[in-house]
Amino acid sequence: MKLQRKNGLRTTALGALAVSGALVLTACGSDNNTGAPDGAAKTGAASNITCDGAKGQLLASGSSAQKNAMDLWVKNYMAACPGVEINYKSSSSGEGIIAFNQGTVGFAGSDSALKPEEVAESKKICKTGQGINLPMVGGPVAIGYNLPGVKDLVLDAPTIAKIFNDKIKKWDDPAIAKLNPEAKLPGTAIQAFHRSEDSGTTQNLGKYLGKAAKADWPYEAEKKWPAPGGQAASGSSGVAAQVKQVEGAIGYFELSYATSQSIPAVQIDTGAAAPVAATTENASKAIGAAKIKGTGKDLALELDYTTKAEGAYPIVLVTYEVVCDAGNKADTLGTVKSFLTYTASDEGQKVLAEADYAPIPAEINKKVRETINGLS
């Protein structure tokens, strides 16, 4: 019943909100923060969203990994703050950072932290500061598959690497059979799908494979898909759609896409006592062990992709909201601070769990809130 309730919430929100990958809504409701407006109450919105300083339209873009969470955040926020329009274009992490460094958006979503050269570029836009990373959304990268009759498929890092590196081509390959001794694996050809555009999700998968399957994944962890073979699709939604439609397919995307489309996800043999399923709880165990590697106000995290902790799902990502620590545009600063204050709040983070994402650990999130409060 719990899963049905969450899926119903997400389906209702997405059906009302998603239009061609971009979200443009017109708000209505009351800014009386003593109680939740009607629209907010229906989606579990916070009753204490503060709209102080927010006005007009705020453009943002980037990561498609956080789209399902962003849809709900925007709906709740705009229901509480009439006259404010948040327009988040779900594209890719790479496109979001480009837009941010061109000064066309108030913030960007990225599934990987800014590179040094991207930080340097941001100083042209953040006149008195620079771009920083605020971890806002966590969750597992699910390895979804379409193999009728095969449930609870188990793979390990070397096998996943060989599949996506075009080295394993059939589902009844001995390496897969060894990990699934009781499964009746067909000789179906493997159809591997990857992202067509620069993607932080791709980069996070690459980090995992590069750490946990070094011998079988000889590529640098970059946003651009590096391996030969396979087929490309646009966005997490595009990859998920292909896996859903094509028998023998396998692809990678955030858990919310797998859940919403009833796509089974691979369990990962990490070397722990039992294979680990892609769940928000298991992802939280991995993210909770992350360390802050950023300096100053930058809160970029270092994740352990080789964890063997019991119940810790290793293929995780953290989506950052990229903002200027100082030098934000005066006409959007108030809205950026107000909106991100909500997304980082207890209420905003609770929305993540309802949409199959993992909330940011409390200790890290406390620093996120302090940093948002100090944006200028």
User: Each residue of 242-296: pLDDT tens digit?
Assistant: 999 999 999 999 998 999 999 999 999 999 999 999 999 999 899 988 999 999 9
- Per-residue pLDDT tens digits for 325-334: 999 999 999 9
Residue 118's closest CA among 105, 136, 104, 130? 130
List the beta bridge partners of residue 195: 233
Give the model's pLDDT for residue 39: 33
Predicted local distance difference test score (pLDDT) of residue 353: 85
Quick one: pLDDT at residue 15?
Answer: 37
For the segment 121-140, what is each residue's pLDDT rounded down to a tens digit?
A: 999 999 999 999 999 999 99
Contact 140, 252 (CB under 8 A): no
Counting as low any pLDDT under 50, the low residues of the chain are 1-46
State the SS3 of 262-319: CCCECEEECCCCCCECCCHHHHHHHHCCCEECCCCCCCCEECCCCCCCCCCCCCEEEE
Output the six-digit token pair for 134.
């605020």
Three-class SS of 266-279:
CEEECCCCCCECCC
Find out whether 196 and 205 touch, Cβ atoms under 8 Å.
no
Residues 142, 145, 146: CA angle, nearest 5 degrees: 150
Number of H helices, E strands in the chain: 14, 12
- How far apart are the C-alpha atoms of 275 and 307, rounded to whole Å? 12
Give the 3-state secondary structure percentages of the chain, helix then strand then coil, rounded to 5: 40, 20, 45
CA 335 to chain centre: 22
In angstroms, rounded to a whole number, what is the distance separating the alpha carbons of residues 344 and 319? 12
The pTM of the full predicted model, rounded to 2 decimals, is 0.77
Q: How far apart are CA 48 and CA 36, in angstroms?
A: 7
Q: What is the pLDDT of residue 47?
A: 57
H/E run at residue 160: helix 157-164
